[in-house]
Structure 1
């Protein structure tokens, strides 16, 4: 009997509940669908690059166990049942996802397959706490982080992670899928050719050089970073704020694509103890949970202001300012450093993310959606929850009322967190080159802050 493991954002073998259950059934056939779902935007360019290489790495790991990874494209409500019929599968298993358009698809597909006497099960594999398991006393969602985090810590602790599925084996028969022998997917060349047809890698121009130099997509890369977090966490509370230091775990893209289990990350942090550093790190894991909690209850988080009074806010339609921000040529050193880092390696230090987002939405008064869309396309760790949630938090349009008057001064932020200018000089080398004239700032930081506060106040008081 063949069990289909439908891969989504869980590209790993370790501590993968759906894969563990599939392996326990017997023969496993893995499938990934390049989905077309109404209401779900396509991945950005950097995320597509990452997913390509992560799938390639996962296929290689599965190949060692004789498990084929089949690549399909289109509507999963059509593709998965067709695959079930072609390979005579008796069960389809997956790990749950939490964005409403995808949950609707999964629910319909589960009902449809069950009418055909196919066993369908879903599992908890992406978050520490599924969104509906954390609720206020009246049963509603949390809107403020602190009580949400406290509720998470007081709830059932994250489970102990499982290891690799043993045994793990693929189908023994020469089954067919989409006109091909399933076992042809065990040949690396055939798989890589089909993966390349998805067109996720940049070619003309190839802008991914910095990504290749800085990242190793896939479970092995994620586990390598995970193995070193204990040493990082001792001084994490202070070092994570310094963009010029190697003080962060850089696990975010591996968590985003499910290459490492959040339960395993949590347990690894507990090995580092209960000190300030490890506790700060665990708080950031819970911030990730909070973003998904909010997206679960606000499925249009990426397109609509959480606070409706901001629907009338006077955002500026300034394409020149937006382009200068995107290209890292605003004349503001820390902002330009962050934006150039983003373009070069598909990632940006978290402290600097706050600064550049505040600068765009408050000093330049450009709509947060324009910044969110740019991050969506250029970040390797952009996900459906954290990306819009964090942009709305910084812009002041989100749940928390306080950030509307919190404007990060990029010059003071640099003085505080990059006092020696290590980070700025790395990405904006012309600041030390006397022969290169540094462009003047495109906006006066102090004056634009005053204007932003006045504009925000008129909205919040209305």
Structure 2
């Protein structure tokens, strides 16, 4: 009897354009394995919102594999131990997997390679991070030259369909997904997550829907009241669709106007490139000088932080975004920047507190994107906005026509006209139920600049 080959799924929960699965299928029977490892990632064990998504994505993957009469084996525990155990139980000596750049996955890959024949494949980015090099052979730290170098390698290879012939291998013990308790019970804080359809089919539907809108992306993506975002980020994070498939679908739908969106797909590659160089980027400032920045701490800072998480800052566009995040596990990208700037500049709170909140509440919380984006807004990153560039929520809100967005997520303000809804306190018409601003814009800006000045002396 031919020994099986093990396919180790992680953030690549799809059958199409899945190089590890295709390679394993060409060798004979396969064992499909997913390990829920809450130990190896440490502080980056997947958060509550991601766990909801994972439950449904694994359900979808198991259904797809089931059509081929292949069970999805589930194990919970430390990844290296679990993969090694399943390989031994099944008689597999070779493991195929897509290469991952997160530091905990790289550590697991290194450990497994010492005991099993581990074959790693590309497929998580448009190009493997180490392949995009400067003319001198170095690594990029700034996005624009990185994007130029990456774009020169595009288009990526055409996405490959799922293997037609897949064969399983015997009976192997598996955990029950229901026993992992990934879904919330009481209270059911995920009841608003029904706007999402996790899984490979859901990703394909999201891509098809966005293909009809990609030509308007450059304008519409900045308008919170318009459905202009792709909403592909959680599908990409969980690998339910490959970046190559996204690139080709967008380019084919709008060959002359898809570049602004494709550049954002390239940003995802850029953050992976930075993580590959600086694995601790989720905790360490990209610029050492900001280690001396006097972030606020103490009871008042904690109260402000909790008001921010609950959408009670007194700034309508910030509050709308934070409430959308809690209700749906996602926030409009323009509003993410405004909310992050407000936390780090107006409230002078450490970006890592915001990163932790987003990690717990976003369905698309990606180690690279979440860490690099927070540092970009905070001004602490390797490639980032200057700290002194402080977004003005009361200006950004009318500029990007966020009135209807605010009405949707801040119902206390829904009866206000466009002329006052962006700044009801300034207009003197704020309802009693709506909280007062935590701090004035000018006061917050001056405090932030004064704090930044201290690290330069």
For the superposition of Structure 1 and Structure 2, which TM-score range results when normalised by the shorter chain?
Answer: over 0.9
- Find the partner of 1:246 among 222, 227, 234: 227
Mapping of 1:40-189 within 5 angstroms?
Answer: 41-114=44-117, 120-155=118-153, 157-171=155-169, 174-175=170-171, 177=172, 180=173
The 2-side partners of 1:456 and 1:375 are apart by 24
Say if 2:406 and 2:414, in contact at 8 Å, map to a contact too.
Answer: no
Say if 1:44 and 1:377, in contact at 8 Å, map to a contact too.
Answer: yes
Residue 428 of structure 2 corresponds to none
The 1-side partners of 2:143 and 2:82 are apart by 39
Residue 374 of structure 1 corresponds to 357
Mapping of 1:356-375 within 5 angstroms?
Answer: 356-375=339-358
Matched, 1:353 2:329: no
Say if 1:23 and 1:166, in contact at 8 Å, map to a contact too.
Answer: no
SS of equivalent to 2:339? helix
Matched, 1:429 2:411: yes
Offset, 1:200: 1.2
The 1-side partners of 2:84 and 2:46 are apart by 24
The 1-side partners of 2:177 and 2:386 are apart by 43
Say if 1:49 and 1:201, in contact at 8 Å, map to a contact too.
Answer: yes
- Find the partner of 2:437 among 419, 422, 441: 441
Label 1:142 to 1:39 Cα distance change in 2 as closer, same or farther (>3 A): farther
The 1-side partners of 2:135 and 2:102 are apart by 24
Say if 1:331 and 1:441, in contact at 8 Å, map to a contact too.
Answer: yes
Mapping of 1:271-286 within 5 angstroms?
Answer: 271-276=252-257, 278-286=258-266
The superposition leaves residues 149-184 of structure 1 with CA deviations (integer Å, 9 ceiling, x where unpaired) of 00101135311110111212212xx44x3xx3xxxx
Offset, 1:289: 0.7
Where structure 2 has 5 or more consecutive residues not aligned to the other structure, the ranges are: 417-430
Mapping of 1:211-290 within 5 angstroms?
Answer: 211=193, 213-276=194-257, 278-290=258-270
* TM-score, length of structure 1 as denominator length: 0.91
* TM-score, length of structure 2 as denominator length: 0.92
The superposition leaves residues 130-163 of structure 1 with CA deviations (integer Å, 9 ceiling, x where unpaired) of 1111122333221111001001011353111101
The 1-side partners of 2:451 and 2:302 are apart by 20
The 2-side partners of 1:391 and 1:288 are apart by 14
Offset, 1:418: 1.9
Equivalences, count: 437
For the aligned residues, what is the CA RMSD?
1.6
Matched, 1:296 2:272: no
The 2-side partners of 1:63 and 1:375 are apart by 34
The 2-side partners of 1:204 and 1:314 are apart by 39
